[in-house]
Structure 1
C-alpha cells in the first residue's frame, strides 16, 4: 500500500510539472519543490509565510513590469577598450587616496564600501537589477502563469545578452577596476556569479512561455558558451581559479553551473573535483576558513564562501560527485566548516573581526542546502535555531527576513 501511495504522489507531481514545468533541466532551483509550493499556493494550503512571500514576489514583479530594461550601454564611464558593450565596474572597497591631490591610485579599505563605486556610472548595479529582476519575474510567472511576467523577463534577458545594440560582450575584462591602476583584475570575475545563479534556471522556466523561443535559447546558450570559454581560457580566469578563497569558489561555481547547463558534464565534474580539493587549502584542522577570517568581515565571508561551496555541491550531485560528504586526507569537509561557525548560532561571540557584526542570515542559504542534501541531527538543530533567531528578529523589528521569504518559495523548509 505504501508503495502505491508513494507512486501516486510522484505521478501527481509529474503531471503537475508536465503541465506547467520546465522544458529544460533546472540547475540550482529544485523543480519538484517549486511544483509542491505552486500546488499549495493554488489550493490554499501553503503556509502563512509562503503566502506572504508570494504576495511580496508578485508586488515586486508588478513594479518591474514598468522599469526600463537595464543595459551596459547606459553607463557614463567608458571602459579602456572604448566600447560600452564591455562590462565595467569599480571595486567596492577602494577609495581615493587622501594624501594625493588627484586621489590616484585609489587605496583599499577592506569591508568599507565606497558609495561612488555603486552608482549608475558603471554596470554593477545594473547587472544586479537585471539578474534580480529576471529571477523575480520568472518565479512570478512560474507560480502565477501570468504571461506579463514572462514577457518582461524575456525582454530583460534579450536586452542584456542578445540585442546587437544593447548586449554585453561575454567577458569581464574590466570588472572591479581600480582608478589609477591599469592592470586588469581577476577578482572582477566575482561580478558574474549572478549570471550563473539566475540565467540557466530562468531560461528553464521561461521555456514554457510563448515569449521565449527555442531560437532565444540557442542564442543565449551561445553567449554563455563564449563566456565559459573566456572564463576557462583567459589569463584572468586562470588566475581566479588558482586563488584560495571565496573568489576561487565562486569562479568554480560559475564554470561548473554553466558547463552543466550547457551539457558539458566533464568540465562541470572537473570544477567540482577542484572545489573538493580546495578544502585542503581553504580550511584548517578546526574547519576555520583561514583566508576568510583574515578579512574585516570575517564571519560574512566565511558564510559567503560556504554559500559558493554548497552551490557547487549541488552541481556535484548532478555529475555523480558527493561533495557534501567529501573529506580530504586530513578530514577537512563542508561539515567541518559548518561546525566551526556553529557556536555563533548557539549564542557564542565570534572570535574574529567583523566590522558589521555577525548575522545568521548570511549562513541561511548554505545551511538550508546542507540540511536537504546532507541531513544530520547537528545540521537540523543549527537550522532550527537559525530560523528561530531570525523569526524573533522579525517580531522585534516588524520586518520580514528576505532570506526566509525566499526560502519559503524555493525550498521545502516551510511547506
Structure 2
C-alpha cells in the first residue's frame, strides 16, 4: 500500500524515468519544475506566455540547425602565441586614441561599448553563439523530444571543445585583451561564465541521446577539468578571485559549478564558503554593492552581481549550503543586498548613475530564486509587482522579452 508520504518520492522516481537517463539533477535549473513545464506544454495547459515562448524556442532551434558550428579557428586576429586554438577577445569598454596613427594607447570608457571589439575578428560573439545556441537546442530537445536538436547541440559542443582541428584550448589567457597591452587581464575570465552556466546542464540533458556517447562525456569532462585547473592555479585566476565585485562573483560561480559537476565537492564547498565570506567586502551595512555603484551602469551591474551570487547559491543547494539565508559575521547577506535595490520597484528613484536607465527585468531571476528559498513572502510579492510593471509597459525590448520568455520556460516565473 502506498502512503501519502511515499507519493512525492514515487512521483519524482517516475519523472526521472520518463526522460531516458535524465536522472542527474540539473545545476542551474530545477529538474522537477522543468519536467512540470514540459508536461504542461505537451498537454496544452501551459500559460499563453509559456506556449508562445516555447514556439519561439522551437523557431530559434530550427534556425540553429542550419548554421555553421562556431569555432575559435574562425577569428582573423591572431593571439600572441600565434595559435588560433587560444581564445581571444577584446575588452568592450576600451577605445583607440583617435589622435594616434596606430590608435595606441587605448583608453577605457566605462559602459560605452566599442563596436569594433564585438566583431567576428575575435571569439566573443562566437562563444555567445555556441552557449546560447546549445542551451536553446537542448531545451528544444527536452521539451519536444526531437532528436535533431540533440544532434546539432552535440555537434556544436564537439566542434568547440573536442575536435582536434577546431577545439578551443582550455584557458582564457587572452580574453578581454587590450591592444598595446601584452599582459593577460584577469577580467577576461568573465567570458567563461557562459561555459559554466550552460555546458554542465546541456550535457546532462543530451547525455541520453544517441548523438552523445560516454566517451564524449569523458573527453569534454577532461576539457572542463583542465579549464578548472587553469582557473584555480593560474595567476589570472587568483587575481580574479580576489576582486571585490561581480568579476569575483562570476569567477567563484564558475569554479563552484564546474567543481560540483566534475565531482569535486570539497572544492565546490570551499568556493561557496568564499562567496559567502565575500559579502563583507562587496556590501556596506545598508546592502549597497559599493563597487558596482562606482560604475556608469550601476543598476545593471548591481543586478548582474546579484545574479552571480544567486547562481552560486543554486550550486550551494546541491551541497547542503544555504547561501540564501546566510549572514556573514558583519550581518551581510543576499537579503540585505536585495533590500537595498528593490525600493526602485515601488517607484523610488535610483540615486546612482546608469547611462542606460534601470531595467527591472534584470531583477526577475534573482527575486524568483529568492522567493523559493526564503521563508519571507516579501520576495514573492516583489516578484509579482515587478512582472506586472514589466508587462504593463507599452514599449518592450527584445532583450526584456527574451529574459521573461526564458524564465517562463525554465519554470522560474509563471505569467
TM range (shorter): over 0.9
6 and 361 in structure 1: CA distance in 2 versus 1, 3 angstrom threshold? farther
Decide whether the 8 Å contact of 2:369 with 2:412 is kept in 1.
Answer: no
Pairwise CA distance, 1:413? 2.5
Pairwise CA distance, 1:105? 1.6
1:357 maps to which residue?
Answer: 357
2:119 maps to which residue?
Answer: 119
Instruction: Give yes or no for the alignment of 1:16 onto 2:15.
Output: yes
Instruction: Give yes or no for the alignment of 1:260 onto 2:267.
Output: no
1:401 maps to which residue?
Answer: 401
| TM-score of the aligned structures, taking structure 2 as reference length | 0.96
C-alpha separation in 2, matches of 1:208 and 1:192: 26
Pairwise CA distance, 1:265? 0.3
1:193 maps to which residue?
Answer: 193
Pairwise CA distance, 1:17? 2.4
Pairwise CA distance, 1:111? 0.2
1:249 maps to which residue?
Answer: 249
Pairwise CA distance, 1:5? 5.1
C-alpha separation in 1, matches of 2:236 and 2:333: 28
C-alpha separation in 2, matches of 1:29 and 1:208: 18
Decide whether the 8 Å contact of 2:190 with 2:247 is kept in 1.
Answer: yes
C-alpha separation in 1, matches of 2:69 and 2:322: 40
1:94 maps to which residue?
Answer: 94
Pairwise CA distance, 1:295? 0.2
Decide whether the 8 Å contact of 1:371 with 1:380 is kept in 2.
Answer: yes
C-alpha separation in 2, matches of 1:105 and 1:398: 36
Pairwise CA distance, 1:99? 3.4
Decide whether the 8 Å contact of 1:23 with 1:207 is kept in 2.
Answer: no
Instruction: Give yes or no for the alignment of 1:308 onto 2:308.
Output: yes
Could you tell which deviates more after superposition, 356-365 or 169-178? 356-365
C-alpha separation in 1, matches of 2:96 and 2:396: 36
Decide whether the 8 Å contact of 1:241 with 1:251 is kept in 2.
Answer: yes
1:26 maps to which residue?
Answer: 26
Decide whether the 8 Å contact of 2:91 with 2:177 is kept in 1.
Answer: yes
Pairwise CA distance, 1:337? 0.3
C-alpha separation in 1, matches of 2:318 and 2:4: 27
- Could you list the structure 1 runs, at least 4 aligned residues long, displaced by more than 3 angstroms after superposition: 3-10, 395-400
SS at match of 1:401: helix
2:54 maps to which residue?
Answer: 54
Instruction: Give yes or no for the alignment of 1:145 onto 2:145.
Output: yes
Decide whether the 8 Å contact of 1:23 with 1:205 is kept in 2.
Answer: no
Pairwise CA distance, 1:6? 6.3
Structure 1, unaligned stretches of length 5 or more?
none
Structure 2, unaligned stretches of length 5 or more?
none
Could you tell which deviates more after superposition, 64-73 or 19-28? 19-28
Pairwise CA distance, 1:24? 3.4
C-alpha separation in 2, matches of 1:265 and 1:111: 37
C-alpha separation in 2, matches of 1:222 and 1:23: 22
Decide whether the 8 Å contact of 1:70 with 1:126 is kept in 2.
Answer: yes
Could you tell which deviates more after superposition, 338-347 or 17-26? 17-26
Decide whether the 8 Å contact of 2:371 with 2:377 is kept in 1.
Answer: no
Deviations 1:109-159 (A, max 9, x none): 000000000000000000000000000000000000000000000000000
SS at match of 1:120: coil
SS at match of 2:181: coil
Decide whether the 8 Å contact of 2:286 with 2:340 is kept in 1.
Answer: yes
Instruction: Give yes or no for the alignment of 1:41 onto 2:41.
Output: yes
C-alpha separation in 2, matches of 1:292 and 1:254: 20
Instruction: Give yes or no for the alignment of 1:109 onto 2:109.
Output: yes
C-alpha separation in 1, matches of 2:346 and 2:248: 30
1:331 maps to which residue?
Answer: 331
Deviations 1:25-77 (A, max 9, x none): 31111111111011111111111111111101000000000000000000000
10 and 247 in structure 1: CA distance in 2 versus 1, 3 angstrom threshold? same
C-alpha separation in 2, matches of 1:405 and 1:27: 20
Could you tell which deviates more after superposition, 366-375 or 151-160? 366-375
Pairwise CA distance, 1:402? 1.4
2:71 maps to which residue?
Answer: 71
Decide whether the 8 Å contact of 2:15 with 2:32 is kept in 1.
Answer: no
SS at match of 1:35: helix
C-alpha separation in 2, matches of 1:23 and 1:102: 56
C-alpha separation in 1, matches of 2:397 and 2:355: 25
C-alpha separation in 1, matches of 2:378 and 2:29: 25
Deviations 1:160-200 (A, max 9, x none): 00000000000000000001111110000000000000000
Pairwise CA distance, 1:11? 2.5
C-alpha separation in 1, matches of 2:226 and 2:216: 15
| TM-score of the aligned structures, taking structure 1 as reference length | 0.96
SS at match of 2:152: helix
129 and 375 in structure 1: CA distance in 2 versus 1, 3 angstrom threshold? farther
Decide whether the 8 Å contact of 1:53 with 1:406 is kept in 2.
Answer: yes
Pairwise CA distance, 1:19? 2.0
C-alpha separation in 2, matches of 1:253 and 1:380: 25
C-alpha separation in 2, matches of 1:146 and 1:347: 45
